[in-house]
């Protein structure tokens, strides 16, 4: 799933988020760490959603769908 990241002055590092997964975010001291952590966060988010019976909507767009399929 595509993620976005930004530098947080307040936290002193990078925060990565996945807009299509509400509440799914991760922190890293570097961009690379934040992006590595968001992959773990996505896996945990999906596992929790599935175990909790939460409906998971398909990503929008061809590229998003391709990334979603490869991550499962």
Q: What's the pLDDT score for residue 70?
A: 59
Q: How far apart are CA 34 and CA 29, in angstroms?
A: 7
Q: What's the pLDDT score for residue 23?
A: 93
Please state which architecture CATH assigns to domain 4-71. Answer: 2-Layer Sandwich (3.30)
Summarised one tens digit per residue, pLDDT across range 6-61 is 999 999 999 999 988 999 999 999 999 999 999 999 999 999 999 999 888 776 65
Q: What's the pLDDT score for residue 52?
A: 94
DSSP 9-58: TTTTEEEEE-TTSTT-EEEESSHHHHHHHHHHHHHHHHHHHHHTT---PP
Q: Three-class SS of residue 4?
A: strand
């Amino acid at each position: 799933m595509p993620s976005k990241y930004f530098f947080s002055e307040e936290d002193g590092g990078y925060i990565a988020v996945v807009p299509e997964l509400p509440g799914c975010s991760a922190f890293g001291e570097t961009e690379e760490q934040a992006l590595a952590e968001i992959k773990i966060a996505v896996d945990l988010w999906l596992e929790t959603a599935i175990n909790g019976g939460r409906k998971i909507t398909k990503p929008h767009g061809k590229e998003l769908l391709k990334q979603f399929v490869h991550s499962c």
